[in-house]
Structure 1
Amino acid sequence: MRTVTGLFDDYGDARDAVTDLEAAGVPSDDISIVANNTGDWYSTDSSNAAEGAGTGAGLGAAGGGVIGLLTGLRLMAIPGVGPVVAAGWLAATAAGAAAGAVAGGAAGGIIGALTESGVHEEDAHVYAEGIRRGGTLVTARVDDSLVLQAEAILQQRDRVDPAARRSIYAEEGWSRFDDNADPYTLEQVQRERERYRAMMP
């Protein structure tokens, strides 16, 4: 088994990548998605966010009736990131950390889970920061025979180049994700999304 990962600036691209991975034969249990939900983008029931529960009904509807992983989305909070919607094995690690089951906080849980599954630590920090700034992370554990196809799926759906994004963050003085940092406000997230949208060819 190998881990393939993609950070997406656009939730729709991430959602489509999940659908494509499932269609390619990657089991839903081996895929995770974590999306920044500042501003309650993906759910119409904000009371569920306060409870750290919910089904992500608004997000599922946005997926046009997609079945599989996306039907299991739930709302939670990650220190340093803020509110997210998440599903899958990586989200379960974050949920356990948020509940105090894992020392070091939920963001540390995500970074730890990524690095333990083979993601380079520098990239894991970029991915966590990317979620903080409004992005969506898709991570899949795939059989060796599906690695090239899974990588191609993520690339075709416009995943972020982590080295290029790290350079952009570094120009602002960033070096690594800090789970003690304040989550981005809605205005900051919107500004980040516009910024990267403007960079698209």
Structure 2
Amino acid sequence: MNKKTIVALYDDLSGAERALSELEAANLRQDFTMMGADSANLGSSASLATENRLESWRHAADFGEDRNFDARDRRVSMLTGIGVTREDADVFAEGVRRGGVLLVGRVEESMCDSALAVMQRHGSVNIPGRAQGYREAGWSGYDAATADYDSAQVAEERRRAAAASLRDVNTQGVNTQGANPAAGAPAATPTAAPTAAPMGTPPGRVDVNRE
């Protein structure tokens, strides 16, 4: 049976954890991995550490020998290696550099829409919108030579993201960075490496078809 690889970016660990909890409750938590700048500590909360879930998620992500994002120079290649476009991989990697967390999953095609809905419901980032925001602030692409944000920078980045999300709600009636993102942006539609598949998946994740 065909499986799909799904990638979502969250601004903090709590959103990814909530999504994983709901995926588990719905019997959809199969082959999911959290990836962040400090992946070794992503499972430090009691609910995760109790069952050592993070380790199984790492192995399920199919990243070969590189199962976390601690090495800045490997982040983009790890993502493109599972079918994410270079453009989206840059945004995902930059989000991780700024304190975000990726949720990566391999799910049966028949369960994909349900899993995507859960991931979106818990605040997955609108990738085209986030890329636009980065570029408007002078960003030109992910640079592996640039250090990851420290805790103070991460906190400020999250405040900016929250403020941008609120502005979107007030001006458009749609939260393009949270649980109800706008539809139609090309970078967030389902993609089958190396060519794009039909439109239809709301922004916030990249859904990569794989055999």
TM class, shorter-length: 0.5 to 0.7
Answer yes or no: is the 8 Å Cα contact 1:3–1:141 preserved in 2. Answer: yes
Answer yes or no: is the 8 Å Cα contact 2:9–2:125 preserved in 1. Answer: yes
Structure 1 residue 11: Cα displacement:
1.5
Aligned counterpart for 1:94 among listed residues 46, 51, 66: 66
State the alpha-carbon separation in 2 of the partners of residues 17 and 96 from structure 1: 19
Structure 1 residue 144: Cα displacement:
0.7
Answer yes or no: is the 8 Å Cα contact 2:58–2:67 preserved in 1. Answer: no
State the alpha-carbon separation in 2 of the partners of residues 66 and 200 from structure 1: 34
Structure with larger RCO (C-alpha < 8 A, sep 6+) = 1
Answer yes or no: is the 8 Å Cα contact 2:80–2:86 preserved in 1. Answer: yes
Root mean square deviation of aligned Cα: 3.0
Alignment CA distance shift 1:26-1:69 (3 Å): farther
Answer yes or no: is the 8 Å Cα contact 2:15–2:122 preserved in 1. Answer: yes
Aligned counterpart for 2:53 among listed residues 52, 69, 75: 69
Aligned counterpart for 1:18 among listed residues 17, 20, 29: 20
Q: What are structure 2's unaligned runs of at least 5 residues?
A: 167-211
Alignment match, 1:113 = 78
Count, aligned residues: 163
Structure 1 residue 69: Cα displacement:
2.6
State the alpha-carbon separation in 1 of the partners of residues 9 and 93 from structure 2: 9
Structure 1 residue 127: Cα displacement:
0.8
Q: Normalised by the size of structure 1, how large is the TM-score?
A: 0.68
Alignment match, 2:10 = 8
Q: What are structure 1's unaligned runs of at least 5 residues?
A: 38-51, 74-85, 99-105
Q: Normalised by the size of structure 2, how large is the TM-score?
A: 0.65
Stretches (4+) displaced over 6 A: none
Structure 1 residue 97: Cα displacement:
8.7
